[in-house]
Amino acid sequence: MSETQLNTLQPAEGSKRARRRVGRGIGSGFGKTAGRGHKGQKSRTGGFHKVGFEGGQMPLQRRLPKRGFTAMNQHLSAEIRLSDLQRLPVDEIDVQVLKQAGIVGQAVRYAKVIKSGELSRKVILKGIAATAGAKAAIEAAGGSLA
């Protein structure tokens, strides 16, 4: 039974290779210019440029037009399901009630009810919008939108 010990671990045969030592004489095959060729920016120490540099030509990322943006008010509004309204213990619902129940975030200012889930009890919405389908479902359950 040959159990491998931590002190006998070795990399697989052929998986490791000695690093190339450049600029160490003719016999190495990488003497004199050390594989960098003759002259030019890439032959010199520190002679590299930033990613996307095109030799002074206007780079692609600056030639293309800017598109799109991130709306600052995207987190100010929230969607609420009918099933969320069903779980709430109160009948009169506004944005503050939704915040206290943890259904919407604290930064939310506007809420809209969408027709998703079931509503079987009477609720009165104050300052909350609703889609046409959600409004019909709320009114069918005896509720209203104020």
Model confidence pLDDT, tens digit, residues 86-110: 999 999 999 999 999 999 999 899 9
pTM of the model: 0.51
**Which residues sit opposite 125 in a β-bridge?**
93, 145
Per residue in 28-76, pLDDT tens? 999 999 999 999 988 999 888 889 899 899 999 999 999 988 877 778 8
Give CA–CA dist 113/119, Å, rounded.
12
Domain map (residue ranges) of the chain? 21-62, 77-145
Instruction: Tell me which CATH code domain 77-145 carries.
Output: 3.100.10.10
